[in-house]
């Protein structure tokens, strides 16, 4: 946990320089080599100054994750504001592209770094990401609610949030099917629009068909058992 939050501009610059130095070292030299002495050296501050803001390396890592998520949220909200009146598919494409860019640009901080932190705070990164994604989607869905068929918006929001996070992470870190970025965005838009606008009638028919098929299967199985 950070010792104190910088209030004055000079203090903020010092804290930011420490975070920037830490990220640079972790990326180029590895997390293990990013000890507080090395971070202070690259940041151009004394070790005493560093300890005024951060008690240890893990606190620096946690603050770096929080800072990155906060900046990402600002960027995502700006895009949401711009796309609120756009058609559902167009808006979904822009939002998914923005989210992909955010996670690509910050892959190390958002995906790799949380795995390195051994304190309980590492779990906060995943929760913070989920919260960020939730609030990124909620205002957008509310604005386009007239276009949606989901009967339970909160449930649908949870499902699409988890699906979006998992698919973006899978694409950024592994991309097992070797999709291009354009192909991935196309699939994400199709996933989002199809799920959120799936005709209720078709769903009811599908469920009815499944129930009828299950009933017939049960009758056949019971008949064979009785023979």
Mean pLDDT computed over every residue of the chain: 82
In words, the CATH class of domain 1-55 is: mainly alpha
Residue 13: CB partners within 8 Å, gap ≥ 6? none
Condensed to tens digits (0 to 9), the pLDDT of residues 174-219 reads: 999 999 999 999 999 999 999 988 876 554 554 455 555 555 554 5
Spatial contact of 88 and 191, defined as CB atoms under 8 Å apart: no
For residue 139, how far is the Cα from the chain centroid? 16
Q: Is the dihedral of CA 172, 176, 182, 185 positive or negative?
A: negative
Rounded distance, CA 218 to CA 41, Å?
73
The first and second tokens of residue 222, run together, are: 């019971």
Query: What span, in angstroms and rounded, lies between the C-alpha atoms of 19 and 16?
Result: 5
Query: What whole-number distance in Å separates Cα of residue 13 and Cα of residue 93?
Result: 36
| Cβ pair 39, 25 in contact under 8 A | yes
Span 17-61, pLDDT tens digits: 999 999 999 999 999 999 999 999 999 999 999 999 999 999 999
Euclidean distance between CA atoms 20 and 68, whole angstroms: 11
Gyration radius of the chain over CA positions: 24
Closest to 67 in 3D by CA, of 33, 30, 23: 23
pLDDT digits (tens, 9 = 90+) for 122-131: 556 666 666 7
Q: Please state, for a pLDDT cut of 90, what percent of the chain lies above it.
A: 43
pLDDT reading at 98 higher than 90: yes
What's the angle, vertex CA 135, arms to CA 129 and CA 138, rounded to 5? 135
Q: Judge if pTM exceeds 0.85.
A: no
Cα–Cα dist 167/138, whole Å: 19
Cβ atoms of 157 and 137 within 8 Å: the answer is: yes
Q: Where are the domains of the chain?
A: 1-55, 64-196
Residue 70 predicted with pLDDT over 60: yes
Whether the pLDDT of residue 99 is over 50: the answer is: yes
Measure CA of the first residue to CA of the last residue in the chain; give whole Å. 70
The yes/no answer on whether domain 64-196 falls in CATH 1.10.3470 is no
Pair 43, 25: CB distance under 8 Å: no
Here the tokens at position 109 are 């901080």
Of the two residues 114 and 210, the one the predictor is more confident about is 114
Nearest to 98 by CA among 67, 117, 74, 64: 74
How far apart, in whole angstroms, are the C-alpha atoms of residue 8 and residue 13? 9
């Amino acid at each position: 946990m950070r010792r104190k939050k910088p209030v004055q501009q000079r203090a903020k610059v010092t804290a930011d320089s420490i975070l920037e130095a830490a990220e640079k070292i972790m990326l180029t030299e590895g997390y293990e080599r990013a000890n507080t002495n090395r971070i202070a050296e690259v940041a151009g501050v004394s070790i005493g100054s560093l300890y005024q803001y951060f008690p240890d390396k893990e606190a620096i890592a946690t603050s770096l994750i929080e800072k990155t998520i906060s900046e990402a949220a600002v960027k995502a909200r700006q895009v949401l504001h711009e796309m609120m009146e756009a058609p559902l598919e167009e808006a979904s494409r822009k939002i998914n592209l923005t989210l992909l860019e955010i996670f690509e640009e910050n892959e190390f901080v958002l995906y790799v770094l949380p795995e390195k932190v051994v304190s309980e705070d590492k779990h906060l990164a995943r929760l913070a990401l989920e919260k960020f994604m939730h609030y990124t989607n909620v205002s957008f869905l509310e604005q386009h609610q007239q276009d949606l068929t989901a009967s339970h918006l909160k449930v649908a929001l949870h499902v699409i949030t988890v699906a979006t996070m998992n698919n973006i992470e899978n694409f950024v870190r592994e991309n097992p099917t070797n999709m291009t970025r354009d192909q991935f965005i196309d699939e994400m838009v199709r996933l989002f629009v199809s799920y959120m606008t799936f005709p209720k009638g078709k769903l009811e028919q599908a469920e009815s068909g499944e129930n009828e098929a299950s009933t017939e299967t049960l009758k056949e199985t019971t008949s064979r058992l009785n023979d």
